[in-house]
Amino acid sequence: MKRIGYLGPPGTFSEEAARRHRGNGEGELVACASLEEVFARLETGLLEEGVVPVENSSEGAVSVVLDMLAAHPELTVRGEVVMQVVHSLLVPPGVKLEMVEKVLSHPQAFAQCRTFLRQKLAGVELQECASTAAAAALAARCRRPWAALAPLSAASRYNLQVLIPAANDCPHNKTRFWALGRKRVLSPVPPCKTSLIFGVRHRPGALYRVLREFAIREINLTRIESRPSKKGLGDYIFFLDFEGAAGDPVVKEMLDVLTEEHTTTLRVLGSYHVEQE
Amino acid sequence: MKRIGYLGPPGTFSEEAARRHRGNGEGELVACASLEEVFARLETGLLEEGVVPVENSSEGAVSVVLDMLAAHPELTVRGEVVMQVVHSLLVPPGVKLEMVEKVLSHPQAFAQCRTFLRQKLAGVELQECASTAAAAALAARCRRPWAALAPLSAASRYNLQVLIPAANDCPHNKTRFWALGRKRVLSPVPPCKTSLIFGVRHRPGALYRVLREFAIREINLTRIESRPSKKGLGDYIFFLDFEGAAGDPVVKEMLDVLTEEHTTTLRVLGSYHVEQE
């Protein structure tokens, strides 16, 4: 049976995304202690797939995931899942807001609840945990007035009370997850998206010449993201998503042109089916 | 005398950047408790300038700063400072690595030292502080085996020992700071850069048509960054820097074309002198 890894423990948004990605198919969901562990287990074949967050509607790219993906050339994108994400403030029974001494969560959740934390819990200590569910588990067992920012579903799982059901600053907070694996999806069911990583030479118009190839073929970009190449400030690689599959004749021809004429490196992360919103 | 705000307390990289920005001119450096406070004081006129981090060579954009800048249309970029950033692991005298129970720092420093933390301090609690210097101050006064990731200079200021002089994963770790203010720099000394925020309509080729205007005039882009507009996944605004000043005739003409034909919103953040690296 296929093993699908996610950032655990059970109860994270990643678990829910992994469940949605599995759908009605077979697959064992495997909780990993960190995103690094998901990548390490994919690399060594202990997992066939891993479901990881790549982008949030208020915080933007999950940079650690993009950087690890860039560092793992053997991995491809096999699917995507978009999830509504609501962070709840959970506390041990009996704890009130004014009693909270510390808030536990994942750094992304802190970032998505920044205004709430500043307005309602100013000066309260923030402790980073490996995941939102790990934060809930720790709040539950610490026997202190500590709160966790975590999915609502973690309340019943860890015997916590819901103090604030929705603490995220942005009410339409969504996160996009990618299902990664070593095996490429060869004929994804339309509608599809394709994702690329590429670099360009430092000269005027370099990025323009890449985008031109998409524009003249009327291929719609859905996202472009620059990431530091880590070689120095001002040196970037680009993550780009567009509508269509790498096997479409027009796309295939364009990718050849990009590789030969306009990019220093180009890697097709994968083509995958997308759900209509 | 001009008041220049920065993310304090004294001893942060931001203070050093604010000092470099002031140069030999006059100006009182004002420590602020948070980046939000820098923006609030700029808005109300309690500060003439504020020096804030915008981009790091390994972590990319400082998203909270870009988002606040987008939300403050009265602010302009008046200057930039690029600084080498080294995070040191500082501890109270006598504390050894294996004794460390907790590491304190700013989330950006944790992100820049992720591999170090995983390899040398796996499982040790991470507590977010408002700044790296606030972390050093807390480590110094807590009387516990707590370490801070902070500038080396914070060791002598807060009576801490240097356990690891350079804990950042990327040896060439640099951060770019912007000096913000309400008054636009009208005739910046060359060489200059100009920074924009803009939005485009959702249609194939929209970003391409913007970049084309730069390419046909041989204007060199130095950075492009997409940020979620917070209206939903897939809806972005762009931050773009290029070489030249908004007052240059070619640039001026191009900005008019962009505003009239290719963007839904366009804001010139400012033109400012840049130091040659």
Confidence of residue B108 (pLDDT cuts 50, 70, 90): confident
Same-domain status, B77 and B97: no
**Residues of B with catalytic roles:** 175, 177
Question: What residues of chain A lie within 8 A of the CB of B225, using their CB?
Answer: 226
- Cα B249 to its chain centre, rounded Å, is 30
pLDDT (tens digit per residue) in A146-199:
999 999 999 999 999 999 999 999 888 889 999 999 999 989 999 999 999 999
Phi, psi angle pair for B87, to nearest 5° = -95, 130
pLDDT at B277: 59
Q: In what order do the strands lie in the sheet containing B192-199?
A: B221-228, B236-243, B192-199, B265-273
Residue partners of B98: CB distance under 8 A and separation at least 6: none
Same-domain status, B216 and B80: no
Same-domain status, B54 and B177: yes
Of the residues A201, A218, A220, A230, the best mutation for testing chain B's interface (the one with the most B CB atoms within 10 Å of its CB) is: A230
Q: How big is the A-B interface in CB pairs under 8 Å?
A: 130
Same-domain status, B52 and B75: yes
pLDDT (tens digit per residue) in A189-247:
999 999 999 999 877 889 999 999 999 999 999 888 888 877 766 678 999 999 999 99
How many residues in total does chain A contain? 277
Q: What is the CATH number of the domain that holds A29?
A: 3.40.190.10
Phi, psi angle pair for B209, to nearest 5° = -65, -30
Residue A277 pLDDT more than 70?
no
pLDDT at B75: 97
pLDDT at A272: 97
Q: Does B226 touch chain A (CB under 8 A)?
A: yes
pLDDT at A201: 85
Asked if residue B35 is part of any domain, the answer here is: yes
Angstrom CA distances, A234 to A229, B84, B171, stand at 9, 14, 16
pLDDT at B154: 93
Mean pLDDT over residues B94-108, rounded?
Answer: 95
- Cα B223 to its chain centre, rounded Å, is 14
Same-domain status, B223 and B268: yes
Among B181, B210, B228, the domain boundary falls at B181
State the pairing for strand pair B125-128/B102-105: parallel
Alpha carbon of A182: minimum distance to chain B alpha carbons (Å): 24
Q: Does B219 touch chain A (CB under 8 A)?
A: yes
Neighbours of B114 (CB within 10 A): 17
- Average pLDDT of every residue of chain B: 92
- Cα B130 to its chain centre, rounded Å, is 14
pLDDT at A229: 79
Count how many domains chain A has: 3
What percent of chain A is predicted at pLDDT more than 70? 98
State the pairing for strand pair A88-91/A28-32: unpaired
Range of the domain at B56: 3-84+173-181
Phi, psi angle pair for B83, to nearest 5° = -125, 140
In this predicted structure, which of A143-152, B138-147, B221-230, B256-265 has the lowest mean pLDDT?
B221-230
Among A181, A216, A238, the domain boundary falls at A181
Question: What residues of chain B lie within 8 A of the CB of A34, using their CB?
Answer: 118
- Cα B84 to its chain centre, rounded Å, is 13
Candidate from A118, A128, A207 with C-beta closest to B221: A207
Asked if residue A187 is part of any domain, the answer here is: no
CA pair distance A112, A150, nearest whole angstrom: 12
Alpha carbon of B175: minimum distance to chain A alpha carbons (Å): 8
Question: What residues of chain A lie within 8 A of the CB of B207, using their CB?
Answer: 211, 221, 224
Same-domain status, B47 and B177: yes
Asked if residue A186 is part of any domain, the answer here is: no
Q: Show which of residues 130-169 on chain B sit within 8 Å of chain A, judged by CB atoms.
A: none
Among A181, A206, A233, the domain boundary falls at A181
Q: Show which of residues 238-277 on chain A sit within 8 Å of chain B, judged by CB atoms.
A: none
CA dihedral A54, A59, A61, A67 (to 10 degrees): -100
Q: Are the Cβ atoms of A107 and B128 closer than 8 angstroms? A: yes
Candidate from A82, A203, A233 with C-beta closest to B174: A233
pLDDT (tens digit per residue) in B163-217:
999 999 988 888 999 999 999 998 999 999 999 999 998 778 899 999 999 999 9
Residue A69 near residue A180, CB atoms below 8 Å: yes
Same-domain status, B144 and B252: no
Alpha carbon of A139: minimum distance to chain B alpha carbons (Å): 14
pLDDT (tens digit per residue) in B25-75:
889 999 999 899 999 999 999 999 999 999 888 778 888 899 899 999 999
Asked if residue A110 is part of any domain, the answer here is: yes
CA pair distance A232, B253, nearest whole angstrom: 32
Position with higher pLDDT, A117 vs B173: A117
Same-domain status, A27 and A70: yes
CA pair distance A85, A33, nearest whole angstrom: 20
Q: Does B171 touch chain A (CB under 8 A)?
A: no
Question: What residues of chain B lie within 8 A of the CB of A219, using their CB?
Answer: 204
Asked if residue B226 is part of any domain, the answer here is: yes
Residue B245 pLDDT more than 70?
yes
Alpha carbon of A91: minimum distance to chain B alpha carbons (Å): 19
Candidate from B172, B224, B230 with C-beta closest to A226: B224
- Average pLDDT of every residue of chain A: 92
Candidate from A36, A57, A226 with C-beta closest to B233: A57
Mean pLDDT over residues A82-106, rounded?
Answer: 95
Q: Does A61 touch chain B (CB under 8 A)?
A: yes
Give the 3-state secondary structure of B28-72: EEEEECCHHHHHHHHHHCCCCEEEEEEEECCCEECHHHHHHHHCC
pLDDT (tens digit per residue) in B6-25:
998 888 999 999 999 999 88
Same-domain status, A47 and A177: yes
Asked if residue B154 is part of any domain, the answer here is: yes
CA pair distance B176, B49, nearest whole angstrom: 16
Same-domain status, A80 and A93: no
Same-domain status, A143 and A252: no
CA pair distance B240, B223, nearest whole angstrom: 6
pLDDT (tens digit per residue) in A52-80:
999 888 778 888 899 899 999 999 999 99
Asked if residue B186 is part of any domain, the answer here is: no
Candidate from A172, A231, A233 with C-beta closest to B232: A172
Question: What residues of chain A lie within 8 A of the CB of B224, using their CB?
Answer: 207, 224, 226
Q: Are the Cβ atoms of B226 and A221 closer than 8 angstroms? A: no
Q: Are the Cβ atoms of B231 and A172 closer than 8 angstroms? A: yes
Phi, psi angle pair for B31, to nearest 5° = -75, 130
CA pair distance A246, A258, nearest whole angstrom: 13
Alpha carbon of B267: minimum distance to chain A alpha carbons (Å): 20
Q: Are the Cβ atoms of A221 and B207 closer than 8 angstroms? A: yes
CA pair distance B241, B193, nearest whole angstrom: 7
Same-domain status, B245 and B139: no
pLDDT at B275: 82
Q: Show which of residues 62-91 on chain B sit within 8 Å of chain A, judged by CB atoms.
A: 63-64, 82
Alpha carbon of A93: minimum distance to chain B alpha carbons (Å): 24
Asked if residue B79 is part of any domain, the answer here is: yes
DSSP letter string, B129-166: -SSHHHHHHHHHHS-SSEEEEE-THHHHHTT-EEEES-
Q: What is the CATH number of the domain that holds A214?
A: 3.30.70.260
State the pairing for strand pair B146-150/B88-91: antiparallel
